[in-house]
Amino acid sequence: MYVAVKGGETAIAHSLDLLADRRRGARDLPELTLDQIDQQLSLAVDRVMTEGSCYDRTLAALAIKQARGDLFEAVFLLRAYRTTLPRFGHSLPIDTSRMVADRRISSTFKDVPGGQVLGPTFDYTHRLLDFSLMTGDERPTAPTAPVDTAQELPRVGDILEREGMLEPPPPADAGAPTQDITRDPLTFPAARAVRLQNLARGDEGFLLALGYSTQRGYGNNHPFVGEVRYGSVPVGFVPEELGFAIEIAEIDVTECDMVNQFAGSHDVPPQFTRGYGLAFGHSERKAMSMALVDRALRADELSEGVTSPAQDEEFVLAHSDSVEASGFVQHLKLPHYVDFQSELVVVRTLREEVEARRRRSTPVSAFGQAAE
């Protein structure tokens, strides 16, 4: 039960002032600029855009600054902002084979067309703290190599698909509008497109733990990274005034096509199946976790039996959103004075009843009381 509680206005106002004061920190240090956050904390920006489900680097940087680096809070701020804007429509589906890729690796084929491009990755660092970053020295720019930007990057999945070894993805249902959980509430069972939208904005930590649980045997789906790619893709859009498509932006995305062993079922011969992950910016851990969970959630469709948390769509989809989860956990801090008073009354009454029953059934003796 919620009851209006009056009072505390001054305390709240001063709390906000103190928050702003702490956000600024020591005044003898220069204040962070949004460009610095965008450029030098770019992976934080990517995560906030992904889970905030709104691609805008400047706004995500602002949210991070305002939230003092609390990325959950920043996601919440971005989600709140997006509710103030009108929707112009849907983009054309992005074509990731047209990506200008900063990174593209496959762990299934060594000699994949287009090659293994490592790009900027932590994978080959030794995770030793680099003390040279403690000073503001000039950093050298990265080396370059000759390149053909017109070349498309074929998908590893398409190669396996042609051999019939890999299931093709579900085809587009012509004429059917793409379902959208920001417009229509989530219901179960959820279509795969709906599950993917939910996972795309879901909390990275939650999906990482669920993905990890499948690897440890809770719904094992024998995954291989078909490929991971990260880079820039154009966004096509058909303005209502024009009736033909134009490109309105180039955005950075990370994509993971996970390939999973599948023994076959009554209707399907043994083949490889797939899970898919897509995230804004460079968000590899997120895209991979999403792909693992997407595949796990297909257990029912592939007649595998739903036995583990990661395969249970109601469990996964209802708890993936950090804004909802954080809101419900943190609302416990709000005044519950009246709820608690009523519970106190209930517990006191129960105790009195128990006490009274005990007195009735046990003859009171000096020994008995002393023994308690």
Q: Which of residues 332-371 bind other proteins (CB under 8 A)?
A: none
Q: Which residues in the 278-337 window bind other proteins by CB under 8 A?
A: 278, 280
Q: Which residues pair with 260 in a beta bridge?
A: 223, 273
Nearer to other proteins, 245 or 350 (CB): 245
N- to C-terminal Cα distance for the chain? 37
Structure tokens given for 88: 């112009």
Nearer to other proteins, 90 or 357 (CB): 90
| Spatial separation of the C-alpha atoms in residues 123 and 225, rounded to whole Å | 15
Return the residue of 118, 338, 345, 350 that touches other proteins, per CB under 8 A: 118
Q: Which residues pair with 235 in a beta bridge?
A: 249
| Stretch near other proteins under the rule CB under 8 A, chosen from 23-31, 34-42, 165-173, 333-341 | 165-173
| Stretch near other proteins under the rule CB under 8 A, chosen from 24-32, 230-238, 316-324, 347-355 | 230-238
What are the angstrom distances between the C-alpha of 10 and each of 6, 14, 16?
11, 6, 10
CB of 275 to other proteins, least distance (A): 9
Nearer to other proteins, 219 or 281 (CB): 281
Whether 207 contacts 290, CB under 8 Å: yes
Q: Are strands 223-237 and 246-262 parallel, antiparallel or unpaired?
A: antiparallel
The phi and psi torsions of 349 (rounded to 5 degrees) equal: -60, -45
Structure tokens given for 300: 């029912």
| Per CB under 8 A, 170 contacts other proteins | yes
φ/ψ region of 49 (left if φ > 0, alpha if ψ in -120 to 50, else beta) reads alpha
Whether 311 contacts 303, CB under 8 Å: no
Return the residue of 9, 26, 30, 86 that touches other proteins, per CB under 8 A: 86
Whether 195 contacts 292, CB under 8 Å: no
CB of 195 to other proteins, least distance (A): 9
Return the residue of 5, 20, 80, 172 that touches other proteins, per CB under 8 A: 172
Q: Which residues in the 180-199 window bind other proteins by CB under 8 A?
A: 180-182, 192-194, 196-197
Nearer to other proteins, 103 or 285 (CB): 103
Nearer to other proteins, 68 or 114 (CB): 114
| Stretch near other proteins under the rule CB under 8 A, chosen from 18-26, 39-47, 80-88, 317-325 | 80-88
Nearer to other proteins, 89 or 363 (CB): 89
Within 10 Å of residue 73's Cβ, how many Cβ atoms? 18
Q: Which residues in the 25-64 window bind other proteins by CB under 8 A?
A: 49-50, 53-56, 58-59
| Spatial separation of the C-alpha atoms in residues 206 and 188, rounded to whole Å | 20
Return the residue of 43, 94, 225, 325 that touches other proteins, per CB under 8 A: 94
Q: Which residues in the 242-281 window bind other proteins by CB under 8 A?
A: 242, 244-251, 253, 255, 257, 274, 276, 278, 280
Which SS3 state, helix, strand or coil, does residue 77 take? Answer: helix
Q: Please name the amino acid found at residue 256.
A: C
The size of the interface with other proteins (CB under 8 A), counted in residues, is 86
